[in-house]
Amino acid sequence: MKSARTKRWPVFIMFNYHYRRCPRLKGYDYSQPGYYFITICVKHMVCCFGEIKVGQMILNEYGRIVENYWRNLPKYYKNCALDEFIIMPNHIHGVVNIVAADLKSARTPTLSMMVQGFKIFSTRKIHEGADFKSARTDSQLMNKFHWQRSFYDSIVRDDDSLYRIRQYIRDNPKNWQIDKCNLSR
């Protein structure tokens, strides 16, 4: 008599669907001083911060909220200094300079903590926005705007890289028509 065996899937296949690789450099201390180039995207790449006209980014209400919270990061994180940045229709590029700071807290804020705070508070403010007042229920309200999970970062290793990144950020609106984040191209 044959035994009835159930088919077993290898563990790596069963759990691969929910597995997300951490995009941070393993073992790297993201609270240490240095320049970091980051990109934060809107979920589903929805264009909600404004539009590009003649190679210039024109911010709408939500874009101005995001800009305000971005500019205020150094007020909340004493080891944060901002460098070049641009808010695009569906993402933000920025260079963050983490500086040595005399912090009395036991834990120095990391790059991820800064981005998390930025996302939380900008999202709250956007959800309070005038256009969302017409939402009939809280669930409709919460489905209007979300940041994409996580963010892209690159550790800036030298002055040449920093120069190229700054130039890339400045030129980003002019290159919107060929940008991979522009889903309408």
Closest CA to 181 of 69, 40, 12: 40
User: In the beta sheet, which residues pair with residue 8?
Assistant: none
pLDDT digits (tens, 9 = 90+) for 130-155: 454 454 444 444 457 899 988 999 99
The secondary structure of residue 170, as a DSSP letter, is H
- Could you give phi then psi for residue 53, rounded to 5 degrees? -130, 120
Backbone angles phi, psi at 16, to 5 degrees: -65, -35
- The list of the chain residues with pLDDT below 70 reads 1-24, 103-106, 130-143, 185
pTM (2 decimals)? Answer: 0.79
In the chain, the DSSP E strands lie at: 34-41, 50-53, 56-59, 80-87, 91-98, 152-155
Average pLDDT, the chain: 83
Query: Would you call 113 helix, strand, or coil by DSSP?
Result: helix
On whether the CB atoms of residues 87 and 52 are closer than 8 A, the answer is: no
Q: What is the pLDDT of residues 71-84, one digit of tens each?
A: 999 999 999 999 99
Domains of the chain: 23-177 (3.30.70.1290)
